[in-house]
Amino acid sequence: MATFISRKIVLGQPSMLILRRLRYAPMFLYIGRIALFAIADGSIEWLKVEEDCRRAIQLDYSSVKAHYMLGLALLQKQELDEGVKELQKALDLGRGANPKGYMVDEIWQELAKAKYMLWEHASSKRSWELQSLKEACETALREKHFLDDSQPEGFLDEAGISHMKQLEVLRQVFRKAGEADIPCEVPDYLCCKITLDIFCDPVITPSGVTYERAVILDHLQKVGKFDPITREQLDQSQLVPNLAIKEAVQAYLDKHGWAYKLD
């Protein structure tokens, strides 16, 4: 390393650039170790990965790879909330630095899997709680009906009808409460016209059609510079983020976590 630096000085490279490289050298060391642990023969040392990622982030908070691998390491420890936060940071940083980069799509896929796991856990808990509450309410209604049976004979038929109506209303209420956790078709306007998958990074063309960014960029590169639906001439510089659809997608995902599941 000393020989390399001295040669650069002789060649006239500014000493500030050398110092900057030295300052970031430890970060590259940690990132390299992260990669080595990640591609080990099926036995990734996730604790080591976490340790090196945290050190790399201390040196460079904007390191997409460090946040990404830290997120994966935390997921392995079943720290889902923290893992999701790190993957989200990696995705945000990746989109800002290189929205066309291959890592952005990989990060989104891992983030979607993690958020689906969070929803699955929360959904199971909600389902159990709703079922327990439903059974408790039904028991309370039955006990009330039993007390009503002790009333004079003229009231028995009326009490029985009222009891059946109350049970049906109760069941409808709990069915409605559980609907948000039942998978259904995602609205078409929230899905890419090409892949039919829910949007991650939607962009809109001058003709008003919205596509997933990575998908339309792939089309422009491999098929031709035209809108696949309108057939109008199209260049990637004309693509604009569709923020309204992006917000709508996020609102939908927040309410219907099952939609994070990827085929």
pLDDT in tens, 31-72: 555 554 554 445 678 888 899 999 999 999 999 999 999 999
| Residue 34 and residue 103 share a domain | yes
Q: Which residue has the higher pLDDT, 105 or 216?
A: 216
Tell whether the model's pLDDT for residue 17 goes beyond 50.
no
User: What pTM, to 2 d.p., does this model score?
Assistant: 0.66
| Residue 124 and residue 106 share a domain | no
Grade residue 138 by pLDDT with cuts at 50, 70 and 90: confident
Q: Write the pLDDT tens digit of every residue in 146-201.
A: 765 555 555 456 666 777 888 888 888 888 888 878 888 899 999 999 999 999 88
| Residue 122 and residue 95 share a domain | no
**CB-neighbour burial class of residue 223 (10 A; exposed 0-12, middle 13-18, buried 19+):** exposed
**Beta-sheet pairing, 210-212 with 240-241:** unpaired
Residue 47 lies in a domain: yes
| Residue 158 and residue 88 share a domain | no
Instruction: Name every residue whose Cβ is closer than 8 Å to that of residue 119 and which is 6 or more positions away in sequence.
Output: 257, 258, 260
Domain that holds residue 136: 118-181
Tell whether the model's pLDDT for residue 233 goes beyond 50.
yes
Domain count within the chain: 3
In angstroms, the CA 206 to CA 209 distance is: 8
Grade residue 104 by pLDDT with cuts at 50, 70 and 90: confident
Q: Write the pLDDT tens digit of every residue in 70-95.
A: 999 999 999 999 999 999 999 989 88
Which CATH number belongs to the domain containing residue 99 in this structure? 1.25.40.10
Residue 5 lies in a domain: no
Tell whether the model's pLDDT for residue 234 goes beyond 90.
yes
Q: Which residue has the higher pLDDT, 143 or 56?
A: 56
Which CATH number belongs to the domain containing residue 255 in this structure? 3.30.40.10
Exposure letters 139-161 (e unless 16+ CB within 10 A, then b): eebeeebeeeeeeeeeeeeebee
Residue 36 structure tokens? 């080595």
Distances in whole angstroms, Cα of residue 80 to Cα of each of 71, 76, 121 = 9, 9, 10
Residue 6 lies in a domain: no
| Residue 147 and residue 193 share a domain | no
Grade residue 20 by pLDDT with cuts at 50, 70 and 90: very low
In angstroms, the CA 120 to CA 199 distance is: 21
Beta bridge partners of 226: 233
Site of tokens 């936060």: 85
In angstroms, the CA 153 to CA 9 distance is: 106
